[in-house]
Amino acid sequence: MRRWVSLAASTVAAMCCGFYYAWSVLVIPMMDTHGWSSADVALAFTLVVALPGLMTLVAGKLLQYVPPPTLLLLGGVILGAGTVLLSFADSLGLLYLFAFIAGVGGLTYPGATMTNLMRFFPDKRGMASGVLTGGFGMGAVIWGPVTVLLLDLMGYQWTLRLLGALFIVVVAGCSRLVTVAPVGYTPPGRRGTSSEIASPQATAYESVAEQNWKEMLRTSTFWLLAPVFILGLVSGLMVTGHASPIAQQMLDISPQAAGAFVSYLALGMAIGKVVWGVLSDRVGRVPVLLAVLALAVAALMLLWQAGSYLPVVVGVFVVGVCYGGFLALIGPVTSETFGPRHFSVNFGIMYLAVSVASYVGPRLGAAVAEANDGVYRQAFLVAAMLTVAALVLAAIQACLMRRRLRPSVARGQS
């Protein structure tokens, strides 16, 4: 029961952190109040969204000294305080400073909680990762409409103050419900160590020995897997960063009508995180990772050729499903490839793929569209080619791991 309560509390805290994916609803009020440009406000968004990826690495190191509930509480206080402070920003310098503080609050997700959940769910790592990341994705879906309602009632400054205070209270409450998973935890009714009770299908990446971050960086496995996640995430973040303009340009519709595409994308992300995570527990990380990459290529090619409403909707939705899958798989793959003992730091390093992709993806879409008179079609083709490269690297890694596992299997049978 303790682990399920911890999962629920961690997911609710992640929803608070996911508020900043609904940042777009704050852009116009900020611009109207202070006379800032869209580009000015967009830089603050980049700080808030990119920093959680970097803070995951910091959290991995901090977890060696403080327990997960304490780190979650700290992250929630910083997240809420940064959100409140943003309401007082009356210059670009203060806007970026307070956005940085709110981004540091990204300790809330996933750094403070993912390691604990991977220990609590050795038999359901994919499911736990999928639910946690799905909660973060649902944050935008939940907080977007709430923020719009509050903006109409009290303006953007008091909206940020109210939400910031609420985040502190909610995350603080959640931190008190999180239990620290014992090292080597075994679920009730299961026998053996955490590695032994994990699904054999799911642990196809299982390493022979535990590896710390220095040893991990010396392996060819890391230098194959990291580019796989970076390249795989680029397409999702490219579409996420340009969902509304893509819909307006490709279908010649109004900004209001294009707003629905953000919901399709967010829904696809939430579904993908949970479904792919659970599926990877049953059939294995390797087949699921390969399937996600292949499906992403198909969706991007569909968008490249799409010219009507339904294909564009399907393509955007499927890209969201695949993007969610990549996020759900980073934690379990890292744990089972390099071992759970040093997972907190190893995961922080691997999760930097999200920060790299969040920088490359939106800029790739903008650069290709600008080079083609505002048309996004060629950007999908470029993203598809990058995803194909990720698929090839993942296939190579799968073959190498299978070859390495054969001798150990043979020794075990003898």
Q: Report the b/e string of 156-180 with b at 16+ CB within 10 A.
A: bbebbbbbbebbbebbeebbebbbe
Question: How many C-beta atoms surround the C-beta of residue 242 within 10 A?
Answer: 21
Domain identity same for 172 and 213: no
Domain identity same for 168 and 93: yes
Q: What is the pLDDT of residues 348-360, one digit of tens each?
A: 999 999 888 888 8
Domain identity same for 163 and 205: no
- Nearest to residue 225, comparing CAs of 336, 134, 125, 60? 336
Query: d(Cα 343, Cα 341) in Å, to the nearest integer?
Result: 6
Question: How many C-beta atoms surround the C-beta of residue 259 within 10 A?
Answer: 16
Domain identity same for 159 and 235: no
Contact 203, 194 (CB under 8 A): no
Cis ω for the linkage preceding 110 (within 30 of 0): yes
Domain contains 189: no
| Token representation of residue 341 | 């003992």
The pLDDT, as a whole number, for residue 166 is 97
Domain identity same for 12 and 62: yes
Domain contains 23: yes
The pLDDT, as a whole number, for residue 202 is 54
- Determine the number of helices (DSSP H) and then strands (DSSP E) in the chain: 16, 0
Q: What is the pLDDT of residues 303-343, one digit of tens each?
A: 999 878 899 889 989 999 999 999 999 999 998 899 888 89
Domain contains 185: no
For residue 140, the enclosing domain spans 2-177
Mean pLDDT of 386-398: 94
Query: Domain containing 6 — which CATH number?
Result: 1.20.1250.20
Domain tally, the chain: 2
Domain contains 187: no
In angstroms, the Cα distances linking 138 to 8, 118, 267 are 14, 21, 8
Mean pLDDT of 37-59: 81
The pLDDT, as a whole number, for residue 28 is 80
Domain identity same for 63 and 211: no
Question: How many C-beta atoms surround the C-beta of residue 31 within 10 A?
Answer: 14
Domain identity same for 147 and 213: no
Domain contains 205: yes
Domain identity same for 234 and 339: yes
Mean pLDDT of 101-127: 91
Q: What is the pLDDT of residues 242-294, one digit of tens each?
A: 777 888 888 888 766 776 677 788 788 889 999 999 999 999 999 999 999 99
- Is the pLDDT at 37 greater than 70? The verdict is yes
The pLDDT, as a whole number, for residue 290 is 96
Domain contains 186: no
Mean pLDDT value across the chain: 86
Domain contains 103: yes
Domain boundary among 115, 148, 177: 177
Q: What is the pLDDT of residues 200-240, one digit of tens each?
A: 555 555 554 689 999 999 999 999 999 999 999 988 888 87
Query: d(Cα 165, Cα 87) in Å, to the nearest integer?
Result: 12
- Nearest to residue 261, comparing CAs of 275, 273, 251? 251
Q: What is the pLDDT of residues 368-391, one digit of tens each?
A: 888 888 888 899 999 999 999 999
Domain contains 190: no
- Nearest to residue 299, comparing CAs of 361, 380, 382? 380
Residue 280 makes CB contacts below 8 A (sequence gap 6+) with 126, 202, 288, 289, 328, 329, 332
In order, the DSSP letters of 147-193 are HHHHHHHHHHHHHHHHHHHHHHHHHHHHHHHPPPPPTT---TT--S-
Q: What is the pLDDT of residues 144-192, one digit of tens each?
A: 888 888 988 999 999 999 999 999 999 999 999 999 998 888 887 665 5
Band the pLDDT of 131: cuts 50, 70, 90. very high
Distance of CA 51 to the CA centre of its chain: 12
